[in-house]
């Protein structure tokens, strides 16, 4: 029996919950309210007409049906005056609205007419209190969801494991987990909600930090192999590169080479803003590893990106004997088999691919270095699977999500951190302009001139196809429109997540080869694509994207010596949305952008938003709850130390480690 059927027999409802990503009872009760509403009298009406007030019924309700919709109107006496109240789609209220009945009404007042959003046959006193508001799909109300939550909590009552050891609970006066969960879903007081959330966040972070610290200690106790290579050969290789390394690139490279030479295992996190040049640094690591007689693997989150890395490395290593292979799902079984054999026999020196690289059937002769790009898309477990493929595998993790160093240390507590701060010289900041428009009209001439001059263009849309529910510009429609306008003079390509990997690759290859001049895409393009001749980007409905996401997107242009342009289209009238786009016009530093992004998020969000693209937590927010994250880290260090000292901790920590699935979840 599936978990959700314990909550409701309605298969529609079950499907609705599934579509919200809630599959288990735990998923349901861990889906916390994103804010709380407090019911108290608002009368006289607020400036925008909002009211919340008690009254009593003084007429028989009238109902008017139109199709599936209904409109109920009734006269209500409020504070000795008569008002006409209208509420939609609540015809089922009629039998309860008899003369004299007391009701509490929430809604909008204009003159002596009220349009109610809520009307309940309860007095304001009975209604008063704090209500959880959830992020839900249409078809389910907050109340109904709360019922499911409470049922889920009741059924699971004996299985809710509290991972915070009792002495730490006492130290911080934390609530027990069951009570805390019950409180956040059935709030009684603001202070208690805050307390509950704190203890839940702490527990969540603690699990994560314990996993991280455990991995770190394991690694420190693991014997690796010192890799031996000649620095002269490395220098000779550097001379064959098309440019000089920046100072930060040199520093990062040095740290990596030093790690490789050590007899312990490297576990290094390399972060740098988009376009800061991490790929070349990783390639030097791969080269050193090769010189030392080991195989290397470079893993990317998408096939498109893997294919691009493959091309880049092939270029870098063209004057060497290194044999490189690309291993992706789209290959034929025969071709794959060939690669498996060549990896097992040691005929391939470097393999580039997606998660296909760590399937059990892939065996390496002498794997020495694993590099992952954009690692927050990979789980701890997956990383481990890849590392276990060799005896002394060194590990390099690259990420373009710019975060402050302290946070990086806390989030990637099991790793050493290198940061590339500065961009390669000669790089011009992308010129970003915001247009209050839903089409390219304001700069169509400029775009045409640009195409005429031989450049290529990215056009980014928030949706794949048209959808009535969300009025978003769709890639399919725009691609059609662009094709009608520009073809056959220029070729238009379409890229989105619903295409097969093979099709995606082929579109990307054509774009890289300039057989396509205009690439219309959804955000699948976001990660790491590098086509030097494409320096113009247009983003539709820009307000739909996160600021860091736009920053990542525009990092695709202006990557060579040419000037990059990023034009943001938006019809948003919301002042805050406009300010965010304007901020992007005047700022180019990923760190600054992520900070601004955080500071300007709505204060109404009690639980914080999780669009950062970092390790994801269900409850905690790594930025807003940084102090709790740090606390959990320090405690985890302490606990792990005790693990080796005291027996009573062993089984406890072991349980958590076995639960590594949840650590995996943080980074998927």
For Mg ion, the binding residues (CB under 5 A) are 528
Binds 280, which of ligand ADP, Mg ion, none (CB < 5 to 8 A, cut-off by type)?
ligand ADP
- Measured from the CB of residue 311, what is the shortest distance to ligand ADP in angstroms? 11
- Which residue lies nearer to ligand ADP by CB, 496 or 559? 559
- In the bound state with ligand ADP, the residue whose beta carbon lies nearer, of 424 and 608, is 424
Contact segment (CB under 6 A) with ligand ADP among 13-21, 203-211, 271-279, 328-336 equals 271-279
Do the Cβ atoms of 282 and 296 come closer than 8 Å? Answer: no
Min dist. Cβ of residue 406 to ligand ADP (A): 22
As a three-state string, the secondary structure of 343-372 is HHHCCCCEEEECHHHHCCCCCCCCEEEEEE
Secondary structure element (H or E) that encloses residue 303, with its range: helix 303-316
User: Of residues 69, 88, 243, 644, which one binds ligand ADP by CB under 6 A?
Assistant: 243
Q: What is the largest CA-CA distance in the chain?
A: 95
| CB nearer to Mg ion: pick between 528 and 558 | 528
Query: Of these, 216, 551, 556, 559, which contacts ligand ADP (CB under 6 A)?
Result: 559
Query: What does 246 bind: ligand ADP, Mg ion, none (CB cut-off 5 to 8 Å by kind)?
Result: ligand ADP
Cβ–Cβ contacts within 10 Å for residue 523, how many?
Answer: 20
Minimum CB distance to ligand ADP, residue 552 (Å) = 9
Kindly write down the DSSP assignment for every residue of 217-285, as one continuous string. Answer: HHHHHS--------HHHHHHHHHHSSSPPPHHHHHHHHHHHHHHHSSS--EEEEEE-TTS-HHHHHHHH
Of 275 and 620, which CB lies nearer to ligand ADP in the complex structure?
Answer: 275
Q: Please name the residues in contact with 473: beta carbons below 8 A apart, sequence gap of 6 or more.
A: 438, 461, 462, 463, 540, 541
**169: which 2 tokens?**
């609970």
Element (H, E) at 77: strand 69-78
Within 10 angstroms of residue 45's Cβ, the number of other Cβ atoms is: 16
Among 19, 379, 348, 353, CA closest to 211 = 379
Q: How far apart are CA 434 and CA 604, in angstroms?
A: 27
- Taking the complex as a whole, the smallest distance from the CB of residue 244 to ligand ADP amounts, in Å, to 6
The residue among 521 and 535 lying less far from ligand ADP, judged by its C-beta, is 535
* 278 touching ligand ADP, by CB under 6 A: yes
Q: Which does 276 bind (CB under 5 to 8 A by kind): Mg ion, ligand ADP, none?
A: ligand ADP
Counting contacts by CB under 6 A, is residue 548 touching ligand ADP? no
Taking a C-beta distance cutoff of 8 angstroms, is the pair 570, 442 a contact?
no
State which residue, 88 or 243, has the beta carbon closest to ligand ADP. Answer: 243
**Distances in whole angstroms, Cα of residue 96 to Cα of each of 78, 88, 141:** 18, 16, 20
DSSP 611: -
Please tell me the count of residues contacting ligand ADP according to CB under 6 A. Answer: 18
Q: Which of 457, 453, 446 is nearest to 482 (CA)?
A: 457
Minimum separation from the CB atom of position 415 to ligand ADP (A): 18
From the list Mg ion, ligand ADP, none, pick the one residue 69 interacts with, judged by a Cβ distance below 5 to 8 Å according to partner type: none
Interaction of residue 472 with ligand ADP, rule CB under 6 A: no
**What is d(CA 196, CA 183) in angstroms, rounded to the nearest whole number?**
7
- Please say whether the beta carbons of 481 and 493 come within 8 A: no
- Beta bridge partner(s), residue 40: none
- 277 forms part of the interface with ligand ADP (CB under 6 A): yes
Q: Which helix (H) or strand (E) holds 602?
A: none
Cβ atoms within 10 Å of 655's Cβ, excluding its own:
11
For residue 243, report the phi and psi dihedrals to the nearest 5 degrees: -150, 170
For strand 492-495 and strand 518-521, is the pairing parallel, antiparallel, or unpaired?
Answer: parallel
Smallest CA-to-CA distance from 257 within 276, 241, 235 is with 235
Backbone φ and ψ of 528, nearest 5°: 60, 10
Total residue length of the chain: 668
Window 424-453: contact mask with ligand ADP (x via CB under 6 A): x-----------------------------
DSSP letter for 326, please. Answer: E
Q: Cβ of residue 311: shortest distance to Mg ion, in angstroms?
A: 13
Site mask, ligand ADP, residues 391-420, x = CB under 6 A?
---------x--------------------
| Nearest residue relative to Mg ion (C-beta) | 528
276 contributes a contact to ligand ADP by CB under 6 A: yes
Residues 514-533, one symbol each (x = binds ligand ADP by CB under 6 A, - = not), give --------------x-x---
Q: Closer to Mg ion at the Cβ: 462 or 528?
A: 528
Q: What's the min distance (Å) between Cβ of 270 and ligand ADP?
A: 9
Nearest approach, Cβ of residue 248 and ligand ADP (Å): 9
Q: Which is nearer to Mg ion, 224 or 528 (CB)?
A: 528
CB of 583 to ligand ADP, least distance (A): 21
Least spacing, CB of residue 320 vs Mg ion, in Å = 22
The answer to whether 536 and 553 are in contact (CB under 8 A) is no
Which of the ranges 19-27, 73-81, 153-161, 244-252 carries the binding residues for ligand ADP, by CB under 6 A?
Answer: 244-252
Parallel/antiparallel/unpaired status of strands 367-373 and 394-399: parallel
How far is Cα 647 from Cα 653, in angstroms, rounded to an integer? Answer: 10
Q: From 151-159, 267-275, 474-482, 623-631, give the range in contact with ligand ADP by CB under 6 A.
A: 267-275
Among positions 57, 274, 324, 397, the unique one binding ligand ADP when judged by CB under 6 A: 274
First to last CA, the chain: 27
- Residue from 132, 187, 272, 455 binding ligand ADP (CB under 6 A): 272
**Residue 199 binds: one of Mg ion, ligand ADP, none (C-beta under 5 to 8 A by kind):** none
Query: In 3D, which of 284, 274, 282, 281 has the Cα closest to residue 247?
Result: 281
Contacting residue, 279, 418, 474, 521, with ligand ADP by CB under 6 A:
279
Cβ proximity to ligand ADP, 209 vs 249, nearer residue: 249
Write the binding mask 346 to 385 for ligand ADP: x where contact by CB under 6 A, - elsewhere. Answer: ----------------------------------------
Give the range of 23-31, 44-52, 273-281, 634-642 binding ligand ADP by CB under 6 A: 273-281
Rounded Cα distance, 178 and 164, in Å: 12
Nearer to Mg ion, 285 or 528 (CB): 528
3-state SS of 601-654 is CCCCCCCCCCCCCCCCCCCCCCCCCHHHHHHHHHHHHHHHHHHHHCHHHHHHHH
* Residue of the chain from 93, 133, 160, 245 that contacts ligand ADP (CB under 6 A): 245
The residue (of 198 and 278) whose beta carbon lies closer to ligand ADP is: 278
Which residues of this chain interact with ligand ADP, rule CB under 6 A?
A: 243-246, 249, 272, 274-280, 400, 424, 528, 530, 559
């Amino acid at each position: 029996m599936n978990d959700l059927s314990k909550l409701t027999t309605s298969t529609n409802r079950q499907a609705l919950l599934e579509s919200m990503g809630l599959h288990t009872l735990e998923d349901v009760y861990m889906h916390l309210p994103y804010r709380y509403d407090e019911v108290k009298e608002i009368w006289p009406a607020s400036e925008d007409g909002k009211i919340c007030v008690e009254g009593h019924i003084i007429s028989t309700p009238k109902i008017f049906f139109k199709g599936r919709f209904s409109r109920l109107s009734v006269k209500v006496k409020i504070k000795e005056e008569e008002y006409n109240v209208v509420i939609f789609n609540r015809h089922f209220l009629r039998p309860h609205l008899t003369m004299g009945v007391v009701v509490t009404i929430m809604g909008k007042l204009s003159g002596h007419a009220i349009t109610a959003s809520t009307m309940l046959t309860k007095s304001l006193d009975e209604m008063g209190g704090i209500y959880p508001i959830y992020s839900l799909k249409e078809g389910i109300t907050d109340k109904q969801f709360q019922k499911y939550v409470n049922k889920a909590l009741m059924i699971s009552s004996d299985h809710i494991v509290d991972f915070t050891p009792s002495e730490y609970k006492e130290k911080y006066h934390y609530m027990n987990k069951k009570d805390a969960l019950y409180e956040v879903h059935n709030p009684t007081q603001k202070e208690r909600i805050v307390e509950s959330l704190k203890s839940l966040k702490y527990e969540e972070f603690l699990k994560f930090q314990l996993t991280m610290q455990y991995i770190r200690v394991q690694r420190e106790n693991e014997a690796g192999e010192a890799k031996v290579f000649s620095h002269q050969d490395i220098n000779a290789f550097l001379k064959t590169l098309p440019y000089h390394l920046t100072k930060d690139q040199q520093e990062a490279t040095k740290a990596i080479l030093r790690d490789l030479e050590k007899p312990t295992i490297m576990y290094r996190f390399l972060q740098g803003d988009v376009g800061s040049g991490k790929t070349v640094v990783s390639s030097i690591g791969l080269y050193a590893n090769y010189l030392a007689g080991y195989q290397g693997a470079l893993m990317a989150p998408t096939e498109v990106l893997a294919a691009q890395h493959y091309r880049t490395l092939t270029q870098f290593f063209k004057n060497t004997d290194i044999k490189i292979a690309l291993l992706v799902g789209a290959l034929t079984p025969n071709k794959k088999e060939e690669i498996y054999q060549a990896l097992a026999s040691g005929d391939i020196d470097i393999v580039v691919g997606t998660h296909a690289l760590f399937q059990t059937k892939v065996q390496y002769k002498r794997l020495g270095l694993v590099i992952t790009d954009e690692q927050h898309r990979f789980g701890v477990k997956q990383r481990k699977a890849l590392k276990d493929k060799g005896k002394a595998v060194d590990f390099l993790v690259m990420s373009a999500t710019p975060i402050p160093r302290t946070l990086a240390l806390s989030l990637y507590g099991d790793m050493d951190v290198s940061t590339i701060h500065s961009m390669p010289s000669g790089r011009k900041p992308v010129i970003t302009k915001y247009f209050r428009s839903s089409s390219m009209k304001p700069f169509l001439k400029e775009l045409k001139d640009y195409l005429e001059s031989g450049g290529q263009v990215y056009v980014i849309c928030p949706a794949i196809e048209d959808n009535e529910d969300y009025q978003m510009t769709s890639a399919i429609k725009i691609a059609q429109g662009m094709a009608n306008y520009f073809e056959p003079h220029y070729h238009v390509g379409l890229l989105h997540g619903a295409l097969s990997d093979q099709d995606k690759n082929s579109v990307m290859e054509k774009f890289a080869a300039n057989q396509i001049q205009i690439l219309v895409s959804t955000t699948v393009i976001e990660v790491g694509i590098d086509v030097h001749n494409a320096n113009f980007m247009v983003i539709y409905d820009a307000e739909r994207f996160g600021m860091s996401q736009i920053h990542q997107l525009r990092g695709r242009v202006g990557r060579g010596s040419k000037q990059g342009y990023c034009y943001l289209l938006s019809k948003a009238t919301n002042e805050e949305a406009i300010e965010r786009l304007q901020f992007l016009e005047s700022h180019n530093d990923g760190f600054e952008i992520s900070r601004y992004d955080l500071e300007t998020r709505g204060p109404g969000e009690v639980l914080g938003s999780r669009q950062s693209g970092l390790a994801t937590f269900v409850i905690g927010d790594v930025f807003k709850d940084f102090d709790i994250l740090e606390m959990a880290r320090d405690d985890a260090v302490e606990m792990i130390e005790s693990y080796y000292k005291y027996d009573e901790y062993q089984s406890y920590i072991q349980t958590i480690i076995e639960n590594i699935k949840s650590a995996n979840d943080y980074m998927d």
